[in-house]
Amino acid sequence: PPQMEHGPVVAILLCALLRVPAALPSGSEPILLGLKARLVVNSTPCSVTCGLGIKEERLCELSPAGERRNCSVLRSRCLSDWICGLRHLSVPEGKPLQLSCLSPDTASLEGQDFGYSWRFARGLITTNDLLFHPFRNPSPSLSFSPALESHSGTYRCDVQVLSSFQLVKRIYFGLRVIPQDLVNLDFQKSLTWEQQLAASGEELGNATGPREREQQHWEVWEKQGVYEVVLGIGSGAIVGILLSLGLCCLGHVCRK
């Protein structure tokens, strides 16, 4: 019967399969033991707190014994919170200005390609997305040369991954262009001493400014005046005592 004819063939195939492991080279086991894995052993924090940044990773070959060899440092992109909020900027009219929504180092790294879209809310400092209108600029930076008063407003930049359209960063630039007739105004000089300390993050008791230096000078002068008065009174008292003693001695001699 046909089933009986296939019996010897099946038996031969089974014997061949059973003999395959024995045919493997004897050196296979040392080859497997010599394999090494390349793993990340250390990594720096992301260079930014929002959007795309750069981090450095240290990669090493890890042997079965746990030894690290042939280590190298690799720079790669990292992603934090994609919303970066509002950044306030002020520039005198006529001066050049550049807004950048992605650092050149981050954009130049190999990997995914990004697309940039800008929107503009003229004359407003806001983060209300309903007030923005498209602003044609496909590059990661926006330059004003020179900046004009009409450029004042809020610029919004979105960074997306071109392959997936994933939004990886959104930042707002609130720009104030100061007119020429107000350029000479010094904002710092218009602040009170307490406001200047608050702006610089210093405490009133630890700072030394014009008002405090003047107060210190008055304190020195007051101390010096008190010292001179005390010295004059003391000198007068001593002279008076000496004169009294001299007169007493003179009177006593005359009586004799």
Tens of pLDDT, residues 50-80: 888 889 999 998 877 778 888 988 888 888 7
Tokens for 158? 């979105």
Instruction: Kindly report the number of other CB atoms within 10 A of residue 200's CB atom.
Output: 10
What are the residue ranges of CATH 2.60.40.10 in the chain? 83-182
> Dihedral angle at the C-alpha atoms of 199, 200, 206, 210, nearest 10 degrees?
-80
Contacts of 57 (CB under 8 A, 6+ apart): 40, 42, 43, 44, 73, 74, 75, 76
Please give the model's pTM, rounded to 2 decimal places.
0.54
Tokens for 29? 């086991």
**Closest to 170 (Cα-Cα) out of 81, 55, 60, 78:** 81
Instruction: Kindly report the number of other CB atoms within 10 A of residue 202's CB atom.
Output: 13
Percent of the chain, pLDDT > 90? 27
Contacts of 246 (CB under 8 A, 6+ apart): none
Lowest mean pLDDT among 33-42, 159-168, 242-251: 33-42
Q: Which of 3-12, 25-34, 179-188 has the highest mean pLDDT?
A: 179-188
Q: How many angstroms separate the CA atoms of 11 and 4, rounded?
A: 12
- pLDDT level of residue 104 (50, 70, 90 thresholds): confident
* Model pLDDT, residue 128: 95
Output the CA angle 223-226-230, nearest 5 degrees.
140
pLDDT score of 38 more than 80 = no
Render pLDDT for 109-119 as a digit per residue (tens, 0 to 9).
666 688 999 99
Average pLDDT in the chain: 75
Residue type, 98: Q
* Model pLDDT, residue 2: 43
Q: How many angstroms separate the CA atoms of 71 and 58, rounded?
A: 7
Q: How many angstroms separate the CA atoms of 146 and 63, rounded?
A: 59
- pLDDT level of residue 189 (50, 70, 90 thresholds): low
pLDDT score of 179 more than 80 = yes
* Model pLDDT, residue 240: 79
Question: What fold characterizes domain 83-182?
Answer: Immunoglobulin-like (2.60.40)
Phi/psi at 17 (nearest 5 deg)? -65, -40
Q: How many helices (H) and strands (E) does the chain have?
A: 6, 10
SS3 content of the chain, % helix, strand, coil (to 5): 40, 30, 30
